[in-house]
Amino acid sequence: MNAIYMVAIDHNKSNWKHSPFLEYAKKSWEYWCEKNGVDFHCVTKHNEKYGYPIWNKLDVTEVCKDYDKVGIVDCDTMIKWDAPNIFDTMGEGIHGVRDTSNLRWVYDSLNAYGSEFFPSFQLEIQKYINAGVVFLDKKSLKVYDKIREFYFDNQETLDNWSKGGGREQTIFNYIAQINGFNIRLISPTWNLVGMHKTELFSMNWQKYSNEVPYRTIGEFFQFLKDNNEQPFYTKYGNIYHFTGFPIEQREEIMRQTWELTKKYYE
């Protein structure tokens, strides 16, 4: 049996609540899980032993200890209604998508965490993956035990971290590589990060016009609706990750995406 594990906690340490957009993420994942015989776990209650809600991810080894394979996904992701069952084709290892959407951020984050905690380890940047969507077999799930151990050994520093570079992603990558876990890169379609930068908020508008017929994201979704079209990311992607653009737009874009595609989830 396999499972999807998602953390979506509203917490006073976050400026933005997850619950408004969680609705859409959850609906898509619940549908896909049911269709594919996969259990879905969504954690909405914060475990006080952690300083920030993101670290609740580490409880996956307890919640999902009896599963063969587990997917750990952020609550700002949606999965396509007919995305294939990735658990059927994946083997041993940690499966994830290379994150190059902001290489400067990655480079700085590696330097910040590297110099503080891992000064003698040269991380292989070619295997640096986005931690917001990862699929693991039972053996590889142990990477989260290692991260938990690291977190509690360094909790004060990590909970008060102010050097930038995110919270858990870079540590995840360091711990995975230092401990020799097998990192297997999968197609970017399994975690479409930075969709605004890669221009996935688009469609083949040239079927209708010689000029782009929309100027704003609102007009874009209206155009899709009026013409019964899909944006490129839902047409050809498997998992859409609504990150990298202003967070205040996230709920609206996820809502619009759900409105466009909900008929396929029924």
Q: Which residues bind other proteins (CB under 8 A)?
A: 98, 100-105, 107, 125-126, 187-189, 197-200, 202, 204, 206, 232, 236
Shortest reach from residue 238's CB to other proteins, in Å: 9
Where do we find the tokens 């688009």? Answer: 202
Shortest reach from residue 187's CB to other proteins, in Å: 4
Shortest reach from residue 230's CB to other proteins, in Å: 11
Q: Where are the alpha helices (DSSP H) in 130-216?
A: 143-153, 155-159, 169-178
For strand 2-7 and strand 69-74, is the pairing parallel, antiparallel, or unpaired?
A: parallel
For other proteins, give the closer residue by CB, 61 or 101: 101
Dihedral, CA atoms, 144, 147, 149, 154, nearest 10 degrees?
Answer: -160
Shortest reach from residue 85's CB to other proteins, in Å: 16
For other proteins, give the closer residue by CB, 53 or 132: 132
For other proteins, give the closer residue by CB, 33 or 78: 78
Shortest reach from residue 181's CB to other proteins, in Å: 18
Cα–Cα distance for residue pair 98/187, rounded to 1 Å: 9
Cα radius of gyration rounded to whole Å, the chain = 19
Cα–Cα distance for residue pair 179/43, rounded to 1 Å: 27
Q: Which string of DSSP letters, residue by residue, matches 95-137?
A: EE-B--TTHHHHHHHHHHHHHHH-TT----GGG-B-TTEEEEE
For other proteins, give the closer residue by CB, 121 or 152: 121
Q: Is 183 helix (H, G, I), strand (E, B) or coil?
A: strand
Shortest reach from residue 101's CB to other proteins, in Å: 7
For other proteins, give the closer residue by CB, 201 or 258: 201
For other proteins, give the closer residue by CB, 2 or 191: 191
Q: Is 69 helix (H, G, I), strand (E, B) or coil?
A: strand
For other proteins, give the closer residue by CB, 70 or 200: 200
Q: Do residues 59 and 43 lie in contact, with contact meaning Cβ atoms separated by under 8 Å?
A: yes
Angle at 188 between CA 185 and CA 193, to 5 degrees: 120
Shortest reach from residue 204's CB to other proteins, in Å: 5
